[in-house]
Chains A and B, each alone.
Chain A
Amino acid sequence: MEVDKGKGEAEETRKVAEADRDTVTLKSSDGKLFEVSKEAAARLSTVLAGMIAGGSIDDNGTDLKQIGSEALENVVDYCNKHANSIPSAALISSSISFNTAPFKEPEEWERKFVDRLSHDALFDLVEAANFLGMERLLDVTCHKISEMMKGKSPDQIREVFNIKNDYTKEELEEIRQELAWAFYDD
């Protein structure tokens, strides 16, 4: 089945009954409309699945007030790409590590999908995925974020994400006493 690519242009309200359409229209916090495959939306997002099943989808664009247009465009883009992709067998395999839970590795196209995002866009996308209950997209975005931290010291991580060191000298000293070991190479 051919699926529309939600490109973000405002769509004319359709007169067709919602139940007969194979797409749903979503509205970002800044009022932009996006169309997404209903099947993919329901499969990938528990929140959208609930809305579709519960009939709370609005023909004129279902309000998603928490999500800006850039993030929503990425969400829709991801859903539509997912609808078109053939899941590979590798999806089942997980990173083999004693320490980490058996997460599914992102597929090649999913990796590329998040690699091209700016830090801000990644931040917005992971929040949107969280808000919409999109487990798979959370997997992909959280994987990316963890890759950005791997092997780095606290200072290096702060630099990557532009995070201010919010510890006072006294607090740092407190941690240093509790976890003296962790400061051995500072």
Chain B
Amino acid sequence: MSSSSASEGGLTAARDWAALPSDIVLDVFLRLGPHEVMLGAERVCKPWRHVALEEPTLWRHVGLDEPHYTNERWMCCPCSVKQQMLRVALDRAKGQCEAFQGTCYDSDLLLLVIRAPFLKSLSIQHYGDYGERLVKVLKKLTLLEDVEVYFNNRIDWDKSMLQSICKACRHLKKLVLKHASAFDLERDEDEFVKERVDGPIPVMRNLHTLKLYDFDLSCKGLNAILDGCPRLETLLIDCYFDKGKMDKELKLKCARVKNLTLDTMQKPPLRWLF
């Protein structure tokens, strides 16, 4: 026999979508993602808004700056609005946010430390504040496994972001660092002084993926990366790097990395550097 209780039976008039069971609304909202929900769905009716407010799982992954997201309403959204949305999303996550992606200023970073202590994945677009503070924050997010930072300009960093970030997050599995000229099409390729990677990095036992864009990498630096990351499976280098200077030993070490991409460029003549 049927396991259910009293029958409602029969067909009724047009269905009441506002009365859709909340687990279905949640399922739909999870597919829409935070910005769609905030800009549209959650304000449709009270029961739907209730789901947005009361289901922290909805805010477990908050990505506010996806490059391929082309919702017109979102594209017209001013930066200040996006920042507010980030705050609200983190509040609603009730500490359960595990992954964040978006534009971040230092104040937002502090918010992440307080509101998202269990963050595993952090992807920061256009970071332009003080590198030192970024490192401090990363150090406090002890569960981080996956970090991606796009530096939007010559930030006031402590010379070596790669080394500092490795030091702060020893358990990372994936690290992607991109300096401005790698993605900023409006700027001259060689306008910036590249971050030089020439010395040892801390041992990163769990790191399986490392991608570096627009650094100034020496053979010594590459050697140190390969020595420091015994589990490395994917290595992408899109930097100033002179392949011609690689010796046999370094080539052998490189060959052990399963997915290796060495997209290198020549250093420009000295007059470009200041």
Chain A residues with a Cβ under 8 A of chain B: 29-30, 47, 51, 56, 58, 62-66, 68, 70, 95, 97-101, 103, 119-120, 123-124, 126-127, 130-131, 138, 142-143, 145-146, 149-154, 156-158, 161-167, 171, 175, 179-182, 184-185
* Distance in angstroms between the alpha carbons of A186 and B179 in the assembled complex: 37
Q: Which A residues touch B1, using CB under 8 A? A: 56, 58, 62-63
Is A126 a contact partner of B35 (Cβ separation < 8 A)? no
Distance of B212 from chain A, by nearest CB (Å)? 21
Least CB separation from A103: chain B residue? B31
Name the residue among A51, A153, A154, A175 with the largest chain B CB count within 10 angstroms: A154
Is B40 a contact partner of A153 (Cβ separation < 8 A)? yes
Name the residue among B32, B63, B78 with the largest chain A CB count within 10 angstroms: B32
Tell which of A66, A95, A98, A163 touches B99, judged by Cβ atoms closer than 8 Å.
A98
* Distance in angstroms between the alpha carbons of A111 and B248 in the assembled complex: 55
Stretch in contact with the other chain, from B80-88, B136-144, B150-158? B80-88
Q: Which A residues touch B23, using CB under 8 A? A: 130
What is the 8 Å Cβ interface bit string for chain B, positions 75-96, against chain A (1 contact, 0 not)? Answer: 0111011001100100000000
Interfacial residues of chain B within 98-128, with CB under 8 A of chain A in the complex: 99, 101, 123
Distance of B72 from chain A, by nearest CB (Å)? 7
* Distance in angstroms between the alpha carbons of A151 and B72 in the assembled complex: 7
Is B4 a contact partner of A66 (Cβ separation < 8 A)? yes
Tell which of B9, B39, B63 touches A153, judged by Cβ atoms closer than 8 Å.
B39
Is B81 a contact partner of A184 (Cβ separation < 8 A)? yes
Stretch in contact with the other chain, from B43-51, B186-194, B229-237? B43-51
Distance of B79 from chain A, by nearest CB (Å)? 11
Least CB separation from A69: chain B residue? B11
Q: Which A residues touch B63, using CB under 8 A? A: 97-99
Known interface pairs A149-B40, A182-B43; A138-B2 also in contact (CB < 8 Å)? no
Is A164 a contact partner of B2 (Cβ separation < 8 A)? no
* Distance in angstroms between the alpha carbons of A58 and B11 in the assembled complex: 24
Is A161 a contact partner of B17 (Cβ separation < 8 A)? yes
Is A101 a contact partner of B18 (Cβ separation < 8 A)? no
A sample of 14 cross-chain residue pairs with beta-carbon separation below 8 angstroms, ordered by A number, consists of A29-B9, A65-B2, A66-B2, A68-B9, A68-B11, A99-B63, A100-B31, A130-B21, A138-B24, A142-B27, A151-B36, A163-B45, A171-B46, A182-B43
Q: Which A residues touch B84, using CB under 8 A? A: 179-181
Distance of A72 from chain B, by nearest CB (Å)? 12
Is B45 a contact partner of A164 (Cβ separation < 8 A)? yes
Interfacial residues of chain B within 48-64, with CB under 8 A of chain A in the complex: 49, 61-63
Q: Which B residues touch A103, using CB under 8 A? A: 30-31
How many A-B pairs have beta carbons closer than 8 Å: the answer is 159
Chain B residues with a Cβ under 8 A of chain A: 1-4, 6-11, 14-18, 20-21, 23-24, 27-36, 38-41, 43-46, 49, 61-63, 66, 69, 71-73, 76-78, 80-81, 84-85, 88, 99, 101, 123
Of all A-B residue pairs in the complex, the 5 with the closest CB atoms, nearest first, are A99-B33, A98-B63, A65-B7, A29-B9, A123-B15
* Distance in angstroms between the alpha carbons of A166 and B50 in the assembled complex: 13
Q: Which A residues touch B20, using CB under 8 A? A: 123, 126-127
Name the residue among B34, B45, B66 with the largest chain A CB count within 10 angstroms: B45
* Distance in angstroms between the alpha carbons of A51 and B4 in the assembled complex: 12
Q: Which A residues touch B46, using CB under 8 A? A: 166-167, 171
Q: Which B residues touch A120, using CB under 8 A? A: 14-15
Is B17 a contact partner of A185 (Cβ separation < 8 A)? no
Given contacts A151-B72, A161-B17, 6 further A-B contacts (CB under 8 A): A29-B9, A98-B99, A99-B61, A119-B14, A146-B28, A162-B17
Is B45 a contact partner of A63 (Cβ separation < 8 A)? no
Is A66 a contact partner of B61 (Cβ separation < 8 A)? no
Name the residue among A124, A153, A163, A171 with the largest chain B CB count within 10 angstroms: A163
